[in-house]
Amino acid sequence: MMTKMISIDLDRASPVLLLRAYITAKRMFPDTPIEVYVSPSGVGFRLKIHKQATIEENLKIRALLWDDPVRLSYALKKWALNPKEEYIDLIFDEKNVDKSKGGREKPIDMEAILEPHKADIDKINEHIKNGETDKAEELVQKVAKQIEPELAKHKKKQYVGCIAFKGDEKREALEEVCMKIMEKDKTFSWRMYPCWFPEFDWILAVFTDDKNKAWRRIVWLKNKAKLEPGGKQILKDADTRLFVKERTAT
């Protein structure tokens, strides 16, 4: 079974990560068209490599190019459940995005952006070829900083509302609630992360393009979320920490 294209989902607004992935992809496939997009959320980036590959090759290449680990995990699960599965490489143009707000991925002319920095790009490739990874990374950081203003023109602000809490049972219950909400509301985007605060175990993150909406959603989850109508609220009486911040990456 072959895939017609290899797509890479970089789920962070990171010029450094984009530049690493793009340079590596160009080294791996020098004669293959590679397109770059800003994701519909306006935060992450996407690479589309127009090359056929077996399922195994597809997964390996995506892992080497820093594809979103959650997306990669689900692709691997699909392949494990059905070795003949060919749709493991999907990127959705309208995933979790309000189309009335222009929710489609937007192309970036990466070659034009990098043209003024061609000498540094050539040096990066030379350092990589010679095994001088520290020197290559130093130049990647330099060029990424220089192209960041150009990339920023294509991005949109996004906010993340966070609820820090304690307990695996609450985590499982909240994940179930969030999955049910997402089935009904395609704009609802969320992730669960291990918590870095010592007094809590987990952080539920809810992503929106509106700061006030992010706050309203996490307050509702704190005060109203429950598994069944008439059931007990999951976080109502729990010790929690709520905050909203702008989503950024470096």
Pick 90 or 151 by higher pLDDT.
151
Give the CA distances from residue 201 to residues 69, 198, 228, in Å, rounded to whole numbers and listed in that order: 21, 8, 24
The CATH code of the domain at 159-246 is: 3.30.70
Give the CA distances from residue 73 to residues 62, 67, 85, 89, 132, in Å, rounded to whole numbers and listed in that order: 11, 10, 15, 11, 31
Give the CA distances from residue 102 to residues 39, 98, 207, in Å, rounded to whole numbers and listed in that order: 11, 7, 17
DSSP assignments along 6-44, one per residue = EEEEE-S--HHHHHHHHHHHHHH-TTS-EEEEE-TTSSS
Q: How far apart are CA 150 and CA 25, in angstroms?
A: 21
Pick 62 or 94 by higher pLDDT.
62
What pLDDT, on the 0 to 100 scale, is given for residue 100? 43
Position 93 confidence tier, pLDDT thresholds 50, 70, 90: very low
Pick 71 or 135 by higher pLDDT.
135
Give the CA distances from residue 169 to residues 133, 163, 165, 201, 202, in Å, rounded to whole numbers and listed in that order: 44, 15, 11, 11, 11
Pick 24 or 232 by higher pLDDT.
24
Position 41 confidence tier, pLDDT thresholds 50, 70, 90: low
Q: Residue ranges per domain, the chain?
A: 2-152, 159-246
**Structure token pair of residue 81:** 């459940």
Asked whether the beta carbons of 236 and 220 are under 8 A apart, the reply is: no
- How crowded is the C-beta side of 120, counted as CA atoms within 13 Å? 19
What pLDDT, on the 0 to 100 scale, is given for residue 91? 60
pLDDT tens readout for residues 180-191: 998 888 778 899
Pick 125 or 188 by higher pLDDT.
125
What pLDDT, on the 0 to 100 scale, is given for residue 94? 40
Position 153 confidence tier, pLDDT thresholds 50, 70, 90: confident
Identify residue 175 by its one-letter amino acid code: E
| Tokens 């429950």 -> residue | 226
Mean pLDDT over 143-171 rounds to 92
| Tokens 């959320």 -> residue | 41
Asked whether the beta carbons of 236 and 223 are under 8 A apart, the reply is: yes
Chain mean position to CA 165: 23
